[in-house]
């Protein structure tokens, strides 16, 4: 994967335009953060890229080829989509959930082979889930569940990871754990498109930001370029100071992620 590009993307739902002329660019090794107030069109844009919603107009391409013509199986191998809700309706264990990420690479009725199991083991190790692999999802904490759902997406080994608000309702330590996992996917050559409400996390982890407002693109570029007083006042209706908010200044993260302690271990 070299480049995902969107030009003039427009979506109408119920006769109402919810995305209007969106331009999009995402390259390999890059994390693009989509930010904006509620109702700005962030999740709609992600569902369009995931193939869950059709565009009324515009063009979406991967490496220059239209996504509209890509077979569903290939799309499922090259993209992994983690929605905000992350609902699982079956009493699966952590290992069973992660194994579902290998389905796009298997023929109908084919069982995972040693290569697939090696990937599942690696992903469990990377996400710190080895000790939880036999646990059912409904017995996990919120942070553990978030890591398990992300692990399933990582097991696809996608070129592009689409993640909708992965840190919502998580405490700061678990937020950082999830964002570090996304960052490492980029470092291995993948790309991440992530929807975030926490502007500190967005400025710290994302290479570029896309600010949406009322279904339209308000600003795009580096965090320093996008997170300005003017842009954020227009998007969120709030007054901020100083005039330029950079990742190194007002939105700088001051936390550090400490090694994970064993459950029940004191400070």
Tell me the pLDDT tens digit for each residue of 96-155. Answer: 999 999 999 998 889 999 999 999 999 999 899 999 999 999 999 888 888 999 999 999
Question: What band does 235 get if pLDDT is binned at 50, 70 and 90?
Answer: very high
Q: Which of 80-84, 136-140, 249-253 has the lowest mean pLDDT?
A: 249-253
Whether 263 is in a domain gets the answer no
Cβ density class 92-124: b for 16+ within 10 Å, e for less: bbbbbbbbbbbbbbeeeeeeeeeebeebbeebb
**Domain span holding position 126:** 3-236
Helix, strand or coil for residue 91? Answer: coil
Whole-number pLDDT of residue 114: 95
Whole-number pLDDT of residue 246: 52
* Predicted confidence (pLDDT) per residue in 201-219, tens digit: 999 999 999 999 999 999 9
Write the DSSP symbol of residue 244. Answer: B
CATH of the domain at 91: 3.40.50.300
Say if residues 1 and 186 touch (Cβ distance below 8 Å): no
Looking at the structure of the chain, the number of domains it has is 1
Whether 214 is in a domain gets the answer yes
Residue with tokens 């220059």: 64
Whether 110 is in a domain gets the answer yes
Whole-number pLDDT of residue 15: 83
Closest by CA to 3, choosing from 63, 53, 43, is: 63
Helix, strand or coil for residue 154? Answer: helix
Whether 13 is in a domain gets the answer yes
* Predicted confidence (pLDDT) per residue in 189-204, tens digit: 999 999 999 999 999 9
Whether 254 is in a domain gets the answer no
Whether 128 is in a domain gets the answer yes
Distance CA 79, CA 132 (A): 26
- How high does pLDDT run on average in the chain? 88
154 to each of 27, 30, 52, 97, how far by Cα in Å?
18, 16, 20, 11
């Amino acid at each position: 994967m070299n480049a995902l590009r969107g030009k003039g993307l427009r979506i109408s739902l119920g006769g109402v335009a919810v995305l209007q002329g969106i331009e999009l660019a995402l390259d390999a090794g890059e994390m693009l953060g989509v930010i904006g107030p509620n109702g700005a069109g962030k999740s709609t844009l992600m569902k369009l890229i995931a193939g869950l919603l059709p565009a009324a107009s515009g063009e979406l391409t991967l490496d220059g080829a239209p996504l509209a013509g890509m077979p569903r199986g290939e799309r499922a191998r090259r993209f992994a989509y983690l929605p905000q809700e992350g609902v699982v309706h079956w009493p699966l264990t952590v290992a069973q959930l992660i194994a579902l990420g290998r389905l796009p690479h298997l023929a109908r009725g084919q069982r995972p082979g040693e290569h697939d199991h090696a990937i599942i083991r690696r992903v469990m190790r990377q996400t710190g889930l080895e000790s939880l692999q036999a646990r059912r999802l409904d017995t996990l904490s919120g942070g553990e569940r978030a890591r398990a759902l992300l692990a399933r997406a990582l097991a696809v080994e996608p070129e592009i990871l689409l993640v909708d608000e992965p840190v919502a309702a998580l405490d700061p330590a678990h937020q950082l754990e999830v964002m570090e996992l996304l960052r490492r996917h980029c470092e291995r050559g993948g790309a991440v498109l992530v929807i975030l409400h926490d502007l500190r996390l967005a400025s710290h982890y994302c290479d570029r930001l896309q600010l949406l407002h009322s279904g339209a693109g308000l600003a795009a570029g580096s965090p320093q370029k996008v997170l300005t007083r003017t842009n954020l006042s227009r998007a969120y209706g709030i007054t901020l100071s100083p005039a330029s908010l950079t990742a190194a200044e007002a939105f700088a993260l001051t936390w550090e992620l400490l090694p994970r302690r064993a459950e029940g271990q004191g400070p």
